[in-house]
Structure 1
Amino acid sequence: MANVATGEVSVRRMLPVITASTLGTAIEWYDFFLYNFFAATIFAPLFFPNLDPVTGILASFTTYYIGFLARPIGGAFFGWFGDRVGRKSTLIVTLILMGVATVLIGAIPTYKSIGFVAPLLITILRFLQGAGVGGEWGGSVLLSLEYGDNRRRGFWASWPQTGVPVGLALAAIALLICKALFPGEAFLQIGWRIPFFLSALLILVGFFIRMRILETPEFTRLKQEQRVAKAPLGEVIRYYWKEIILSALLRSGEQAPFYLFTTFVLSYGVSTLKIPVNTLYTGIILAALIAFVTMPFASYLSDIVGRKRWFMLASLGMAIYAYPFFLLLQTKNSVLVVLALVGAISIFHASLYGPEAAFISEHFSTRLRYSGASLGYQLASLTAGGPAPIIAVLLLAAYKSYIPLVLYIILMALISLLAAWGLREYANRDAAADKDIQVTEAAIASEAP
């Protein structure tokens, strides 16, 4: 199959690829966000009933963090297979892993039934969820990126990113429907389990669609030329360690705020500000739907003005919005609260998250791209996304004010700005073409007798 990166491809040709990558990603994030929502609302009394409210939320967020701890492990593990075996088959495995783990979470008895075994089981399954997401992202992005062309690389690679707001909206909608069907105590008994069981149907749909997509042209050519990496993880760390570190830091300004906007805000809004939880879910759903449009649009703009310039400007925007976001929440006015969430998720987060897929992936050569991009992307789970709600709960408990939360977001955004400044610009050029030759030659030389 010919490599299409150097020529322009049509939307018609890309549509099946975009559908397969985006839908699969949406399903994976639906599964992942379900746990996040319940960790912020009902998992503390169900699985940690003997703890006081603040400690119970912290314990619930700690098991939530296990999923983030697993993401770079899954990225490294599945990245190896993605660079050795192929993007398509690895994506199918991650989809199945995520689906099985999610369905089993819905079947776990609570602490009242089996004691400490309940939080232990949910922690193990959360780890498997994280590993699945860790392997999923790299493959779904590369599926779009390696079928696309250089001129619109940011736009093509952004579509799997839209799977995040789609999954977010689906999870919130499923939760609200089940709360309406199982009011009060019934929701704590059985209602919360239904959205997890529904994951099985979504996985079947995603599996069928992904099976119909061929391997990417770039990886197919790599296999034909017998240039597939023999030890991709070791090679990518050796030759791309700087890009991996900067990619992880790059995500600070979107990753940490995002989980404050979508997870921490549920416990903070309900427990501290006494905002109706349905108002918060409505804001999240509306923001997610709008982000489905704003993410590709921001990525299209990054193709025009350059990834570095766009990302640095968007990081500044996130820093500036931190204070107005919490100020709007303090009003407790439903319209303003929804407006705060829409601005946070569909404008400022989307402006960073959409172009990020191409910005990270294009810094790695084809033969090591799955491993490199996955590691760079998923390591931010340890430093930004995972600890963000835990840090926010601790800051709020210590200072009784939202100002430290504002400063935390500003700090994360400035880290992103500096990381973007340290990375190279590859918009409208071959992705890491200059380094690809050096790495291949070095790898061949090291294997010579």
Structure 2
Amino acid sequence: MSNPAQDEHTPGRTAPPSSDRRRVAFATVVGTTVEWYDFFVYASAAGLVFGKLFFSGLGANSTLVSFATVGVSFLFRPLGAFLAGHFGDKYGRRVVLVLTLILMGAATTLIGVLPTFGQIGVLAPVLLILLRVLQGVSAGGEWGGAVLMAVEHAPSKRRGLFGASPQIGVPLGLLLASGVLALTSLLVPGQAFLDWGWRIPFLLSVVLILVGHYVRRRVEESPVFREIAERREQTRTPIVQLFRKHAVLVLVAALVFAGNNAVGYMTTGGYIQNYATNPKGPIGLDRGPVLWAVTASAATWLISTWAAGVVSDRIGRRRTYVLGWIAQLAGVAVLFPLVDTGNIVLLALGLIILSVGLGFTYGQQAAFYAELFPASIRFSGVSISYAIGAILGGAFAPTIATALVDATGTSVSVAVYLAGMTVIGLIATLLLRDRSGIPLGPDHEAEQAVSPLRFSK
């Protein structure tokens, strides 16, 4: 008679109880929410205030350079991914998650107390960029550990659902960041917001980091890594092995995420916030209503992200992605025509429509990535693919969008750029086989090592 608690990944081992799985899911949601709250508060502030406060010496180019600092952090995500992948595959997922959370929170809090350009001159933007670099290193290491903790604890038929837990933390982080900024803007309006009110969301990170640290310290290590450690089968050079055997797979997986990330950073990167509120731009809406519209879109993104994880358990990761790319393309097509009306309700509608496609090209990503790579190098594989995809996709999407509008005088050019990135994501998805339900434990390393690329033998 079979044991219902038997782990389907690794014969002979006992699966974590459902209560432990729920605790892990909750911990990944809380921790990832805190991480991305920090990350998105910066991106939103870059579009709203940093150009005036830290880059005012650059005149007309201040906003463009402010957006570029959002992208600078992405250049350091691979460093975070390399470090986290190396230590995560050697020493475990949990320790990396705790360290990245502390690093992100410390950097965010310090931004909240930085003097501005008007107070200390050029040193202000230099320090701001250095702290943004630390945020990038942290974000590069965070995601891989969070998704593996969730997916490797999950039953094989519910990996999409459990893997959506850390994914939900991203729209939750945007929801929290936009909501806090909107509330702060309401309570501290006008010039006071520029003078000191913007600092409040950054300083709140201290409280959030304590909550996230407490929750994450209470979860058990991934059962897959525990077994690898017990067998003393940790790979000594996981990154070398990854690129020696799976370099093309890393690039294709990165392009899948790039297609989602470029479009997502229209809001998470602060571009729409700046585009819609710029008094010299074509719309000139008030800051508060735009932030509330972004908050509503983040709530939609959260729901669609969760739904994508559930759907992917039923119809497969690849089919869910294809549906998502089609929905995202439709969202890109209607976004700027609705935003350019200058009507806040239609702007919110455009963002909400876009968020449905964003969720359906994101919710299943954790399970999809985890099923692509062998157990011994999985942390390195998912982290580095994610970090490279972030550079190719969202790193400079707000900067590119700003430059396109400046060069062409129309938002149509931005829509064409986003549609192109969506098509790239679709093509990359079609190049990969669906491996939903493949065993994840070290007993099945040989099966996992078979390339999921459709053009490979």
Could you tell me which of 40, 47, 65 is aligned with 1:40?
47
Matching residue of 1:303: 313
Could you tell me which of 375, 392, 407 is aligned with 1:398?
407
Could you tell me which of 73, 84, 87 is aligned with 2:90?
84
Would the alpha carbon gap of residues 352 and 425 (structure 1) be closer, same or farther in structure 2, given more than 3 Å must change? Answer: same
Counterpart Cα distance in 1 of 2:261 and 2:415:
15
Q: Which amino acid counterpart does residue 286 of structure 1 have in structure 2?
A: A
Matching residue of 1:379: 388
Secondary structure, aligned partner of 1:42: helix
Q: Which runs of no fewer than 5 residues in structure 1 stay unpaired?
A: 442-449
* Alpha-carbon distance, 1:275 to partner: 2.3
* Alpha-carbon distance, 1:5 to partner: 3.5
Could you tell me which of 229, 233, 254 is aligned with 1:227?
233
- Is the 1:29–1:164 contact (alpha carbons within 8 Å) kept by the matching residues of 2? yes
Deviations along 1:153-174, whole A, 9 cap, x unmatched? 1111111000011111111121
Matching residue of 2:359: 350
Show the 5 A alignment for 1:209-248.
209-248=215-254
Counterpart Cα distance in 2 of 1:38 and 1:140:
26
Secondary structure, aligned partner of 2:108: helix
TM-score of the pair, normalised by structure 2 = 0.92
1:415 equivalent to 2:424? Answer yes
Q: Which amino acid counterpart does residue 126 of structure 1 have in structure 2?
A: R
- Is the 1:161–1:354 contact (alpha carbons within 8 Å) kept by the matching residues of 2? yes
Aligned pair count? 439
* Alpha-carbon distance, 1:425 to partner: 1.0
Show the 5 A alignment for 1:41-440.
41-53=48-60, 55-262=61-268, 263-271=270-278, 272=281, 273-345=283-355, 347-431=356-440, 436-437=445-446
Counterpart Cα distance in 1 of 2:21 and 2:154:
7
Bigger Cα displacement from structure 2, 316-325 vs 25-34: 316-325
Q: Which amino acid counterpart does residue 69 of structure 1 have in structure 2?
A: L
* Alpha-carbon distance, 1:301 to partner: 0.8
Would the alpha carbon gap of residues 287 and 36 (structure 1) be closer, same or farther in structure 2, given more than 3 Å must change? Answer: same
* Alpha-carbon distance, 1:438 to partner: 7.6
Counterpart Cα distance in 2 of 1:312 and 1:177:
37
Q: Which runs of no fewer than 5 residues in structure 2 stay unpaired?
A: 451-457
Counterpart Cα distance in 2 of 1:440 and 1:224:
21
Q: Which amino acid counterpart does residue 419 of structure 2 have in structure 1?
A: I
Counterpart Cα distance in 1 of 2:44 and 2:331:
24
TM-score of the pair, normalised by structure 1 = 0.93
Identity %: 35
Deviations along 1:302-342, whole A, 9 cap, x unmatched? 12111112212311221232121111112222221111111
Deviations along 1:279-303, whole A, 9 cap, x unmatched? 2211211122233222121111112
- Is the 1:33–1:168 contact (alpha carbons within 8 Å) kept by the matching residues of 2? yes
Deviations along 1:100-143, whole A, 9 cap, x unmatched? 11111111100111111100000000000011011000001011
* Alpha-carbon distance, 1:440 to partner: 8.6
- Is the 1:316–1:414 contact (alpha carbons within 8 Å) kept by the matching residues of 2? no
- Is the 2:326–2:357 contact (alpha carbons within 8 Å) kept by the matching residues of 1? no
Counterpart Cα distance in 1 of 2:249 and 2:399:
28
Deviations along 1:182-206, whole A, 9 cap, x unmatched? 2222222221111111101111111
RMSD of Structure 2 on Structure 1 (CA) = 2.1
- Is the 1:362–1:432 contact (alpha carbons within 8 Å) kept by the matching residues of 2? no
* Alpha-carbon distance, 1:434 to partner: 10
More helix, by proportion: 1
Could you tell me which of 31, 35, 53 is aligned with 2:38?
31
Could you tell me which of 6, 10, 14 is aligned with 2:21?
14
Q: Which amino acid counterpart does residue 189 of structure 1 have in structure 2?
A: D
Matching residue of 2:455: none
Q: Which amino acid counterpart does residue 276 of structure 1 have in structure 2?
A: D
Q: Which amino acid counterpart does residue 165 of structure 2 have in structure 1?
A: W
Q: Which amino acid counterpart does residue 322 of structure 1 have in structure 2?
A: V
* Alpha-carbon distance, 1:62 to partner: 1.4
- Is the 2:372–2:448 contact (alpha carbons within 8 Å) kept by the matching residues of 1? no
* Alpha-carbon distance, 1:435 to partner: 8.0
Bigger Cα displacement from structure 2, 282-291 vs 428-437: 428-437
- Is the 1:291–1:350 contact (alpha carbons within 8 Å) kept by the matching residues of 2? yes
Bigger Cα displacement from structure 2, 159-168 vs 238-247: 238-247
Deviations along 1:182-236, whole A, 9 cap, x unmatched? 2222222221111111101111111111111111111001111111111111111
